[in-house]
Structure 1
């Protein structure tokens, strides 16, 4: 899978610090993906763009890195605490990786901004990528 316009590559130390900030809960597949692609726009969707994905949000670098988006979302919507906003769609909705200590851990959701609702998307980050790119 290839992304265009990715931000500066993350170092292993960058990822280690990012993971530590989220209590070492980030799935290995998420970390691997971000070490290869620090945000950006998908170039090769499978049979169209089923999620209407606009792009992946970068870690640490860029105008609105995940850290800033997370802070803004949690300030406005406390129910999004421990939900990592890693991507967005064309309507401004956020794709979230659940880091909650419950049965949603590791699952992917989308937060519909207009409706203020969270909807289930897939069981894991790996499954999300497979649906998008395979």
Structure 2
């Protein structure tokens, strides 16, 4: 079952997405692009929650809403420059961030960033496999 989000922000267009990629100087995978053109942030519906090892609080939105990916990314890179090229797209209840790499050596890999530890851990090779983990029981 694909991950569907509720309480998403206003939908974005392809041109909004291109503007987003320019603003962060990164080029996410088509998997990520397609997901965000369908779901602009939001929460996983309680009916869809599984016993996944990752407890997502919310997916961040692009362009609209209080905490946009653009703003979180800029703050993240300002505080930790080594995270440039890693797009924060979701967070858990502890404030840990899920990041999508757009860097050449690990493009598409998803990481969990623990700010309290200043460490990142690889959790999935692709965005779609990360979504599959979330939707598996």
Bigger relative CO (Cα 8 Å, ≥ 6 apart): 2
Equivalent residue number for residue 118 of structure 1: 120
Three-state SS of the structure 1 residue aligned to 2:71 is helix
Partner residue of 1:36? 38
Structure 1 gaps, min length 5: none
Change beyond 3 A, Cα 1:77–1:36: same
Q: Deviations over 1:93-128 (max 9, x none)?
A: 1100011121x2210001101111011110000100
Q: Which residue of 1 aligns with 2:79?
A: 76
Is this contact kept in 1: 2:29–2:102, CA < 8 A?
A: no
Alignment correspondent of 2:4: 2
CA RMSD of aligned residues (A): 1.4
Count of residues in correspondence between the two structures: 132
Could you tell me which runs of 5 or more consecutive residues in structure 2 were left unpaired when the two chains were aligned: none
Measured after TM superposition, the shift of residue 24 of structure 1 is: 6.0
Q: Distance in 1 between matches of 2:86 and 2:123?
A: 13
1:18-49 per-position Cα deviation (integer Å, ceiling 9, x unaligned): 2344556211111111011100000113x324
Pairing 1:91–2:102 present: no
Q: Which has the higher helix share?
A: 2
Q: Is the 8 A contact 2:8 2:43 kept in 1?
A: yes
